[in-house]
Amino acid sequence: MEKKAEKKQEKIEEKGKKVTFNISKEKNFSEWYTEIVQKAELGDIRYNVKGFIVFQPWSVMSMEKMYHYMEKTLQRKGHKPYWFPTLIPEKNLKLESSHIKGFTPEVFWVTSHGNDEPVEEKLALRPTSETAFYQMFSLWIHSYKDLPFKTYQRANVFRYETKATRPFLRSREFHWIEAHCAHESEEKAMLQVKEDMETTREVLHDIFGLPFIFFERPSWDRFPGAKRTFAADVLNPDGKVVQQPSTHLLKQDFAKGFNVQFKDKDGKDKFVWITCYGPATSRIFASVIIVHGDDKGLKFPWKIAPLQVVIVPIKNEKKILDEAEKIKNNLEEKDISAEIDLSERSPGDKFYFWEMKGVPLRVEIGEKEIKEGKLTLFRRDIGKKEVISNLDLLSYVDKTSKEIDKNLIKQADNLFNNRVVDVVDKKQLKDSIDSGKIARCGFCSVDEDGAGCAEVIEKEVLASVRGTKLEKETPSGKITKCVICGKKAKEVVYVARQY
């Protein structure tokens, strides 16, 4: 049996096109990821600046759709789009001390221009844009009537990462959205934080199909300059979590540093409360690949698929190609992206290829289909074929596209939920983390007092305290003691391994 499979593989390779993809995502996750990025032509790591990649069309087309949904949602909630300069003066970064401390090690600096003439002052390639936005906030915000002042920008940002880079997951340049908002009070700012969490659920979960838990990070793991930090963790098949959007309630140090004041209803000048929210599109794309893909390659949710329908003519005959063209036009008229595969590959090779590329729907047309007025439809998400009347195509696609997304979300949710387990002591904690789980447990404290126990987890379990849920869970049932020191648990926390 194996021999036969090998033969088949060889035969395909002989034609000069190795089209099959078959790597176990569960068993060899790291290899699977490296290979699919290359095979599906998502990103090219051969660009000659360390830590930078070229984003290729198949990923860019999907990420453009992701931007569309993220921006539409933010705009619907009252955020206005800006494009800020890429360069930020060093003095701006220095204005908030924990911020400069946190980001300096990662900054790329522009120091000269032309024939090595020095620039007037050292300029940072933005690692994030708090210190660019807030100096402008001080010019734009005057009165309580200007609040809330809700902004965002689509931008590329730069961080000199010292950890190993991986395409989409961690690069020295990545593509994101950063939303910055000014509010009249801490309470209003916290409502913004909650809105950001809802936005994350509406877009990342309900459209992109990514399950996550939104945690409040412990005190030792806050964003530089934040009073409270919240972040969504997505789980990879190797049991490690990836941090996806984070949203922060900033300390007023920024507002004070940049003098962002407003005249309140009572006539007094007050400093605003600022929140910032940062969904990293290129990293979210990594999670889309990882969460939905299988051993045969990619699986795209319908709405963010670079191509939604591929049409494979079984033979390159005029009658068949005319019908394919007609179908393509009908679909495109309904704003569904469709392409006919006219390459020289065999139909079988085309099937493998587009399954690997993750196209949600395939239409097959051969002589049989033409004669009978039928079409064969293949769903990538469940790997099944269905024969329908060609008159039903549009209604079938309309219905099925919704089913595909629902199914992908359900599969992902089930997998995620099954991997969150309760543990009561260090041994259980270590065992479940080692078997790729997120562990839920009691913990002494997420303030500085708990830092010691967190360190034990870092060193002995090789994992980290991801935080607490915003809707605080009270220790109860089995979970009453700190999983490390055994003292009475003040918190229910989640522990996971990260990259």
Q: How far is the C-alpha of 409 from the C-alpha of 258, rounded, in Å?
A: 43
Min dist CB 104 to a copy of itself, Å, is 6
Q: Which is nearer to a copy of itself, 132 or 441 (CB)?
A: 132
Q: Which is nearer to a copy of itself, 132 or 181 (CB)?
A: 132
Q: Which is nearer to a copy of itself, 120 or 266 (CB)?
A: 120
Min dist CB 47 to a copy of itself, Å, is 6
Min dist CB 62 to a copy of itself, Å, is 11
Min dist CB 206 to a copy of itself, Å, is 21
Q: Which is nearer to a copy of itself, 52 or 144 (CB)?
A: 52
Q: Which is nearer to a copy of itself, 173 or 431 (CB)?
A: 173
Question: Across the strands, what pairs with 156?
Answer: 175
For residue 457, the 8-state DSSP code is I
Q: Which is nearer to a copy of itself, 172 or 490 (CB)?
A: 172
Q: Which is nearer to a copy of itself, 63 or 291 (CB)?
A: 63
Min dist CB 285 to a copy of itself, Å, is 11
Min dist CB 378 to a copy of itself, Å, is 25
Neighbouring residues of 175: CB distance < 8 A, sequence distance ≥ 6: 55, 63, 154, 155, 156, 280, 281, 282
Give SS3 for 268: coil
| The pair of three-digit structure tokens given for residue 182, joined into one six-digit string | 């000014």
Cα angle 127, 79, 246 (rounded to 5 degrees) comes to 45
Q: Which is nearer to a copy of itself, 2 or 120 (CB)?
A: 120
Q: How far is the C-alpha of 10 from the C-alpha of 14, rounded, in Å?
A: 6
Chain residues binding a copy of itself by CB under 8 A are 44, 46-50, 52-57, 60-61, 64, 80-89, 92, 104-116, 119-120, 123, 125, 132, 135-136, 139, 156, 158, 160, 173, 175
Q: Do residues 153 and 178 lie in contact, with contact meaning Cβ atoms separated by under 8 Å?
A: yes
Q: Which is nearer to a copy of itself, 146 or 425 (CB)?
A: 146
Min dist CB 69 to a copy of itself, Å, is 14
* Per-residue three-class SS string for 311-340: EEECCCCHHHHHHHHHHHHHHHHCCCCEEE
Min dist CB 201 to a copy of itself, Å, is 24
Min dist CB 153 to a copy of itself, Å, is 8
Q: How far is the C-alpha of 445 from the C-alpha of 342, rounded, in Å?
A: 62
Q: How far is the C-alpha of 218 from the C-alpha of 216, rounded, in Å?
A: 7
Q: How far is the C-alpha of 168 from the C-alpha of 166, rounded, in Å?
A: 6
Min dist CB 359 to a copy of itself, Å, is 16
Q: Which is nearer to a copy of itself, 88 or 241 (CB)?
A: 88
Q: How far is the C-alpha of 47 from the C-alpha of 29, rounded, in Å?
A: 24
Q: How far is the C-alpha of 120 from the C-alpha of 478, rounded, in Å?
A: 62
Nearest CA to 440 out of 451, 452, 448, 428 is that of 428
| The pair of three-digit structure tokens given for residue 286, joined into one six-digit string | 């990594």
| The pair of three-digit structure tokens given for residue 119, joined into one six-digit string | 């620039």
Q: Which is nearer to a copy of itself, 154 or 374 (CB)?
A: 154
| The pair of three-digit structure tokens given for residue 245, joined into one six-digit string | 């959007």
Rounded to 10 degrees, the C-alpha dihedral 383/389/395/399 comes to -30
Neighbouring residues of 109: CB distance < 8 A, sequence distance ≥ 6: 90, 122, 123, 124, 125
Min dist CB 259 to a copy of itself, Å, is 14
CB burial class (10 A; 0-12, 13-18, 19+) of residue 212? buried
